[in-house]
């Protein structure tokens, strides 16, 4: 299954691949060049196709667990001062996504969306220390009675040129459900209450909607 955000891009890619190959066969009489162009077109389409895959995930829903919002590798675990919403110290867990990861963003907890805001910005590499504050990003806060408020921030990177966020203030969301998409790259930061018990460690690989990153 493929994410709806990729439907238009996949359709355009197919048309471009067909056009390029038709033109090559019409105007290039060297067969090995035609075959090379065909092979390159197929590889390019398959790479884009895998990027927009959207596997179904069976989240074990629990008000006391926080699940990973995306697939990737845990690159940051530290206490930081969260400036935008909490304006106090929080425990930050950051997950970096490579181009081969699934790029669907999922709600880390059940609850009500109490904050959702888009910020235009730069396109620094995702692991840059200032990426969380200066890159294009969206900030979403979900609240429930067991965990309290959990903030997650989609951050664009050097390749990611569009962040899609479906979360709207006042909306009731289900843990593990689709909350957005980051096109071509990047990372998601999760900000948890100080004292939250972590279930992950640095460099651990996680799966969105499946891996429990913390619990209360």
Cβ contact 215:192 at 8 Å: no
Structural tokens at position 184: 């071509």
Q: What are the Cα distances from residue 87, in Å, to 60, 81, 134, 148?
A: 31, 7, 17, 15
**Rounded distance between C-alpha atoms, residue 210 and residue 79, angstroms:** 24
Q: What is the β-pairing status of strands 178-183 and 162-165?
A: antiparallel
Q: Which of 24, 41, 179, 186 is flagged as catalytic?
A: 186
Q: Is 68 exposed, middle or buried (0-12, 13-18, 19+ CB in 10 A)?
A: buried
132 is catalytic: no
Closest CA to 177 of 1, 56, 49, 53: 56
Distance between alpha carbon 62 and the CA centroid of its chain, in Å?
Answer: 22
Looking at the annotation, which residues are catalytic? 186
């Amino acid at each position: 299954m493929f994410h709806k955000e990729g439907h238009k891009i996949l359709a355009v890619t197919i048309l471009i691949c067909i056009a390029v190959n038709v033109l090559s066969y019409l105007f290039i009489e060297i067969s090995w060049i035609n075959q090379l162009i065909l092979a390159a077109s197929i590889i390019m389409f398959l790479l884009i196709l895998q990027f927009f895959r959207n596997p179904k995930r069976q989240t074990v829903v629990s008000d006391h667990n926080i699940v990973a919002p995306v697939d990737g590798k845990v690159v940051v675990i530290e206490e930081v001062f969260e400036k935008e919403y909490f304006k106090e110290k929080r425990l930050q867990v950051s997950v970096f996504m490579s181009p081969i990861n699934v790029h669907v963003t999922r709600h880390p907890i059940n609850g009500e969306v109490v904050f959702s805001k888009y910020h235009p910005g730069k396109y620094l590499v995702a692991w840059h220390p200032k990426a969380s504050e200066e890159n294009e990003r969206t900030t979403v806060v979900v609240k429930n009675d067991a965990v309290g408020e959990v903030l997650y921030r989609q951050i664009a990177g050097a390749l990611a040129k569009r962040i899609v966020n479906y979360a709207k203030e006042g909306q009731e969301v289900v843990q593990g459900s689709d909350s957005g998409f980051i096109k071509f790259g990047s990372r998601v930061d999760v900000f948890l209450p100080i004292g939250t018990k972590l279930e992950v460690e640095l460099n651990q690989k996680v799966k969105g909607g499946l891996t429990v990153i913390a619990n209360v």
